[in-house]
Amino acid sequence: MRRIAEESPQEATQLLLEAPNGIDDYGWSVVSSWAEQDAVGALDWVLSRPPEEQKHLLPGILHRVVQEDPQRALETALGVPITEYGMGLEERVIGIVAQNDVDQAIAMLQSVRDHERTKAFAAVNIAQVLVRSNDPFRALELGVELPKPLQRNYFNNLWLQWVQWDIVGLYESLEKFPSADLKSKAAHEILSYRVLDDYRPHRHFTAEQLQEMELYLLDDTD
C-alpha cells in the first residue's frame, strides 16, 4: 500500500477506503508516504475525512506539514479536540518548529489553547531547545513570564533538562536566578541528581560547593 501511495496517492487512498479496517491498518503508512511528496495535499485529504479519522491520521503527517507550512500546521492542530487525558496537537507543532526557529515557536505560544498541560509542555519543548543551544537563561525568562499555575510543571522540566545537559553551568548560574524559590528548586535538582542508581553529585563539585548549594534550600522545596 505504501509503494502505491508513493506512485499514486489518489489510488492508494481509494484502496484504503475500500479495504476492511483500511484506515486503522494502513492509514498512517499511506498518508505519511503521501506527505513526503506533498504534505499540504495529504493534509487536505485527511481534513476531508470524518473527525475520528482525522485524529488518527494527523499525527502521522504533522511533521511534514510543519516543515512545509508551519502556520497551517498550527491552525490545523488547534482544530483538533483535546482528549480528557491528552494534550493539544499544537504542543507537538511548537516542538517541531522550535528545532529550526525558536523565535517562531515562542511567538506561537500565544495561540496555544487554555489547557494547562498543553501550554506547559509546549513551553517545555522550547526550553529543551534553548538549553541545548546554550541559551538556558532565555528558557528561564520564558518560564518567569508564564502564568503562575504553569510554572511548577515548566520549571521542574527545565531543571531536569539543564542538570542533564550542563550540571556545572546550572550551579554557576544559581546566584543569577530572580527569586529565592527558583534558586532553591534548582539547587535541590542538582543535589538530587543521579543517573539510574548512581547518586553522586560530588563527582562534579567540591564539598564546599555542595554545602553552598544546601544554603539555597528552602524548607518547602520538594
Residue 57 near residue 49, CB atoms below 8 Å: yes
Residue 170 near residue 206, CB atoms below 8 Å: no
Q: pTM score, two decimals?
A: 0.82
Q: Kindly give, in sequence order, each residue whose CB lies less than 8 Å from that of residue 139, ignoring residues fewer than 6 positions away.
A: 126, 127, 130, 131, 158, 162
Q: Taking residues 152-156, report their average pLDDT.
A: 87
- Asked if the structure places residue 26 within a domain, the reply is yes
- Asked if the structure places residue 62 within a domain, the reply is yes
- Asked if the structure places residue 31 within a domain, the reply is yes
- Asked if the structure places residue 106 within a domain, the reply is no
Distances from the Cα of 183 to the Cαs of 7, 76, 175, 220, in angstroms? 57, 39, 7, 13
Cα(120)–Cα(139) distance, integer angstroms: 13
Residue type, 153: N
> Would you place residue 104 in the very low, low, confident or very high pLDDT band (cuts 50, 70, 90)?
very high
Distances from the Cα of 95 to the Cαs of 27, 45, 133, 195, in angstroms? 24, 24, 14, 26
Range of the domain at 45: 1-68
- Asked if the structure places residue 9 within a domain, the reply is yes
177-222 confidence digits (pLDDT tens): 888 998 999 999 998 887 655 656 567 888 899 999 999 999 865 5
- Asked if the structure places residue 7 within a domain, the reply is yes
Q: How many domains would you assign to the chain?
A: 1
- Asked if the structure places residue 74 within a domain, the reply is no
24-69 confidence digits (pLDDT tens): 877 888 888 888 889 999 999 999 989 888 888 898 899 999 999 9
- Asked if the structure places residue 4 within a domain, the reply is yes
